[in-house]
Structure 1
Amino acid sequence: MSDQPTGVFVRLPLSEEQKASVYDLTSKGGATDAILAIGTPVTGGGLTRTGTIAWFEKDREPSLASYCPGLFKAGDSVPVTSLPIAQAHIAALESEVVRLRGVIVEAVDALTRVTEERSTQYQAKNGRWVSIQADDGERCDIIHSDITTDCEAAILSAHKALKGGAA
């Protein structure tokens, strides 16, 4: 099998960003590029065939010829599906992985900013550098409100992703 895409799985509904991307690319004449930009290419190149169903004219019913008899033992009853159906299911799962990876990257980026841009002290109006301590005596770090906003957005995206919604 080829590694060239034979189809594209597109998760619905489309986000506004995806719609804009499709409009932009199709208006430039790149329909294929537009679809690839918002979807997950399906190649099917990673699937190994374990058998073929053949129905010859002289046979009363189709038969399964196994290419990998070592995968089965006498008495096994193995469900069979078509390659296009299997590819569609794999593409759906790959799309979900891509979506969840995006949520994880967003969260990691926000948390990285917390550790890289935090401060242990601030400069007071009198010019002195001051730190903050909690009631238990532990030092409190100070982070910019933009970082807090990014962390809150990452938390919201993670909650949506865990509920199966579009992030």
Structure 2
Amino acid sequence: MTQKPTGVFVPFPLTEAQVSACSDARAKAWVEQGKPTTTSTFEAALLAIGTPVTGGELAVVGWGLYSVGGGKPSLFTNEAMAERWAKHFGRTLHPVVRQSEAQAQIAARDAEIVRLREALVVARGAITSGLNAKSIVCTVWAGPAETLVDYIDAALKGGAA
């Protein structure tokens, strides 16, 4: 995704690992940003455990206004009313989307990832076949210590070469 995320999809219930990742991300944001806002540290925490969603992908169906002290959020379907309440109470509005639509977007993204991984496996197989094993493509890529096969293997393992 090249666009800046406008939201994050976080499935519940949270695991202990996710709670720990949230805490770590907030602490890291605090250190990196010097004197961050509460909003920026929470955004960092949510991005650490959720799936970013960029603008225009999901229709906003409401707005959430979260209270201080852990109270229940107020939900609005009228944006103007939500903005007035947010301004009155000095709170930040958060767009609300349908979970089913978010899950459909995530499923589509996951399907694309599977398709691309399969293409990498096929490309690796073609490159390392008996016909191409000694070709320049298979022996030199970005530098003397890295071949195209190394690059593909790193991508398939989830890292970058």
Relative to the length of structure 2, the TM-score reads 0.36
* Bigger-Rg structure (1/2): 1
Relative to the length of structure 1, the TM-score reads 0.35
More helix by share: 2
